Amino acid sequence: PEPGDLIEIDRPLYHHWALYLGDGYIINVTPVDEGAPSLSVSTTSIFTRRAKVKKQLLKEVVGNNKWRVNNKYDRSRTPLPVKEIIRRAERWIDKEVPYDVLGNNCEHFVTELRYGEPVSDQVS
């Protein structure tokens, strides 16, 4: 992956999304209500209303799951410059954000960083 790329991680019941920062690190949102890292996020995250933005190693978040670079929205949206994407992302590290599986989920978070607007096919 290249800095600014969207990373899609296959989970048992959904797809988790992160943004690649470089040097093996990603930024992603993880539910605050669970003590477990995003690796073990379960269906209880559906009921979570808050999430924490974390900078983590991609390999730790992925675990044994499959992942891919998926900048699928580049077909219909123009990504911001990479330096701007990374600058915007780093402002959020260790902050709590509202979370809603339908209206403000992990995919919404990273697409807003990349494109300047939140998008999620997962919920359409």
Kindly list the catalytic residues: 16, 106
Distances (CA, A) of 57 to 8, 96, 100, 105, 117: 14, 19, 24, 20, 25
Whether the CB-CB separation of 83 and 72 falls below 8 Å is answered with: no
What φ, ψ does residue 41 adopt, rounded to 5°? Answer: -55, 130
